Amino acid sequence: MAGERKGVCARGGRHQMKFLANMCISTKTVQWLRQQGYDATHLREEGLHKLPDEQVLAKAVAEQRIVLTMDLDFGYLLAISKASLPSVILFRLEDKRSERVNERLSEVLRLCLNDLSAGAILVVTETTIRVRRLPI
C-alpha cells in the first residue's frame, strides 16, 4: 500500500511531544512518559473516561497531542475523516502490561519522531512497528 512502511520509521531529533492516553492505556504508562520528560495526560485524570472516540481525537488535535490507544476505532475514524492529525499509536500487543507497553513505546519514540510529528498511525506489535502517514 502506498504510504505504508513496516518496521522502519523516519527518525528525527527529539521534539517536545505531548500525549493523550485513552482508557485502555494504563496510567502507569502516562507516569512513565512524564518521567521521560514528556507532557502526558490520561482521560481518567481529567474525568473524561466516557468521552466518545471522535471527541478524544478532537481534544488531541486541539491540544496537539498524540493519542495512545489499544482501540482499533481510532484508525477507522482517522481513515474516514481524511484528517492529517492527530497521530495515533495503536498497540496490538499480546502482553498488555504497562511494562511491555512502555518498552515498545520507548522504541517508537527512539525511531519514529518524524512520523509522529508529521501525522501518522503507528501500529505497534510485539515485534514490528507499522507506519501509515496521514491522511489515509
CA distance 115 to 125: 17
Domain that holds residue 117: 16-133
Q: Are 99 and 131 in contact (CB under 8 A)?
A: no
Total domains in the chain come to 1
* pTM attached to this predicted model: 0.90
CA distance 129 to 80: 22
Q: Is residue 64 part of a domain?
A: yes
Mean pLDDT of 4-31: 76
CATH (domain of 74) = 3.40.50
Q: Is residue 3 part of a domain?
A: no
Percent above pLDDT 90 for the chain: 88
* Alpha-carbon separation of residue 118 from 16, 50, 95, 122 (angstroms): 13, 28, 29, 12
Q: Is residue 5 part of a domain?
A: no
CA distance 132 to 111: 14
Q: State the cell numbers at 60.
A: 488531541
Q: Is residue 79 part of a domain?
A: yes
Q: Is residue 91 part of a domain?
A: yes
Q: Is residue 2 part of a domain?
A: no
pLDDT, one tens digit per residue, over 27-73 is: 999 999 999 999 999 999 999 999 999 999 999 999 999 999 999 99
Q: Is residue 10 part of a domain?
A: no
Query: Which H or E element spans position 122?
Result: strand 120-124
